[in-house]
Amino acid sequence: MRVLVVEDERRMAAALQRGLQAEGFAVDLAHDGEQGLHEARHGEYDVVVLDIMLPRLSGYNVCKQLRAEENWVPILMLSAKDGEYDMADGLDLGADDYLTKPFSYVVLVARLRALLRRDSGRRPAVLGAGDLSLDPARRRVLRGETAIELTPREFALLEFLMRRRDEVVSKAEILEHVWDTFDTDPNVVEVYVGYLRRKIDGPFGRNALQTVRGAGYRLAGDGG
Amino acid sequence: MRVLVVEDERRMAAALQRGLQAEGFAVDLAHDGEQGLHEARHGEYDVVVLDIMLPRLSGYNVCKQLRAEENWVPILMLSAKDGEYDMADGLDLGADDYLTKPFSYVVLVARLRALLRRDSGRRPAVLGAGDLSLDPARRRVLRGETAIELTPREFALLEFLMRRRDEVVSKAEILEHVWDTFDTDPNVVEVYVGYLRRKIDGPFGRNALQTVRGAGYRLAGDGG
DNA sequence: CCTCCTCCTGAGACCTCGCTGAGAAGGCTG
DNA sequence: CAGCCTTCTCAGCGAGGTCTCAGGAGGAGG
């Protein structure tokens, strides 16, 4: 899941970046309104966290501009408590949610998750593929009744594949969303696909995670 | 435990915040009905204290709206003595308890604790996990028959984990709910988990409080 | 059948995360 | 003020997780 954080205050931006990355998000930063608008337009983000008080172009205007361009990426606005802007205005302009500073970090994460859930047509809380199931909130994976232990990286990879089950996803795409880089050796994806297979395919070789030569990987919707 | 206080009168709001914080609650404020509704919807509160007389949207309507949305967070209503609304109306609308102003601060805390204890009537007064039990009201912890002495911080941590037993909770979440901060060094959580383990795992090493590397901690429902 | 290329995998280096003991700081009690 | 308790910080360590590398299997194309 890719998040764009538009925030001029460096310390706050860095703290958000670290925190969200720890939660498994891929985080990009923009430090003023113009840069933020540019990134939001061209990057493919699942959600944007947008401060209101920004140099060059206020978050208020960034939001207005994006909506005017028919860009409906979910936006969560941040405002200072005594801000000159009323938060209700923010919602009127097309923001999906707002938080007042100082806000709690866990609340931010919870609301981001809520936005992501809402946006994609009320995704079920638990992802499934055949008798394979993954619960992002509880961070749990089951094959039938038995739990499967995954490392953080393995979990992020499986979650990404399950969200796009039956689709072929390229290694570049996987690197971008799960590793948050694009110039890394794609071999690391192969290695982790290998790890995952050993864990999710169970004793008698299913084939949940298929290789599509020259194109990428596909997670079979029936779980193999 | 997180509390949302919706109260427009600044002095009263500030007093409640200070007082409840001293009791170990994490307190957020909202100053009008709309803001309160918004916060209650999106924040993850364990209980909401809701004044009836509010600008923009009455507490009465906030409560009605929340219940209409299937949001069952425990609500304690506050009303002025001569209010136009009857408390019975409040309870009809789905509030869980009410207090008439002027109320005694001690009574307020007691009722909040009561609400948390029953958690809208679905949870027992005493939290349990195997032969581990914790009584929030009496501030007492037992492993089987033998009492365990905990410091306030240790107790708060264990209570939080027991309320969410079997779930994986991140260090950030723990910091948020038990320490009421989010940019603190997470090491303090590790240290306190260590303290707790030494006290609750007993002489021959159970494993009630499990580490989920890269994700957080889980309190096993069977007590280890 | 041979060659090229993609993908798989075991080994191992490296680094991060979580645990722990030591102890400083602050508050409360006697 | 001394002694005790609680909270929190810090630094070192060990285990576990991540990633790189190189060799090999096997499909695709000639």
pLDDT by residue (tens digit) across A51-89? 988 988 988 889 888 887 878 888 898 876 555 555 555
Question: For residue B2, what pLDDT is reported?
Answer: 84
What pLDDT, on a 0 to 100 scale, did the predictor assign at position B198? Answer: 93
Q: Cα A26 to chain center, whole Å?
A: 6
Q: CA of A64: how far to CAs of A47, A58, A80, A96, A212, in Å?
A: 16, 10, 19, 12, 42
Mean pLDDT within B144-163: 92
Tell me if A15 and B183 make a contact (CB, 8 A cut-off). Answer: yes
**Mean pLDDT of all residues belonging to chain B:** 82
Q: Which residues 20-49 in chain B show a CB within 8 A of chain A?
A: 26, 28, 34-35, 38, 42-44
Tens digits of residue pLDDT in A73-131: 888 988 765 555 555 555 556 777 777 776 767 678 877 877 776 544 334 468 888 89
The residue among B41 and B70 whose pLDDT is bigger is B41
Please report the pLDDT score of residue B203 as a whole number: 63
Phi, psi of A205, rounded to the nearest 5 degrees = -30, 90
* Protein residues with Cβ atoms closer than 7 angstroms to any atom of nucleic acid strand C: A 22, 171, 186-187, 190-191, 193-194, 197, 211, 213-216; B 171, 186-187, 190-191, 193-194, 197, 211, 213-216
| Interface contact flag, A106 B173, Cβ < 8 Å | yes
> Order of strands, edge to edge, in the sheet holding A26-30?
A26-30, A2-6, A47-51, A75-80, A97-101
Q: pLDDT tens-digit profile of A12-65?
A: 888 888 778 777 787 888 999 999 998 898 777 889 999 988 988 988 889 888
3-state secondary structure of B59: helix
Q: How far apart are CA A134 and CA A38, in angstroms?
A: 35
Q: Is B92 on the interface with A (CB under 8 A)?
A: no
Residue A86's pLDDT is what? 57
Q: Give the amino acid at A39.
A: E
pLDDT in tens, B47-93: 999 998 888 888 888 988 888 777 888 899 887 655 555 555 555 66
**Within chain B, where are the H helices?**
10-22, 33-42, 59-68, 87-92, 105-118, 152-163, 171-174, 187-200
Cβ-nearest to B42 among A111, A140, A151 = A111
Query: Which residue places its CA closest to the C1' of nucleotide D19?
Result: A188
Residues of A in contact with B28 (CB under 8 A): 104
In tens, the pLDDT along B180-222 reads 787 889 999 999 999 999 999 876 668 899 999 999 999 987 8
Residues of A in contact with B42 (CB under 8 A): 97, 107, 110-111, 114
Positions of chain C reached by protein Cβ under 7 A: 6-11, 17-22
What is the Rg, in whole angstroms, of the alpha carbon atoms belonging to chain A?
Answer: 19
Instruction: Please answer yes or no on whether B215 and A152 come within 8 Å at the CB atom.
Output: yes
Indicate if the pLDDT at residue A177 is higher than 90: no
Determine the Cα angle at A55 with ends A111 and B30, to 5°: 35
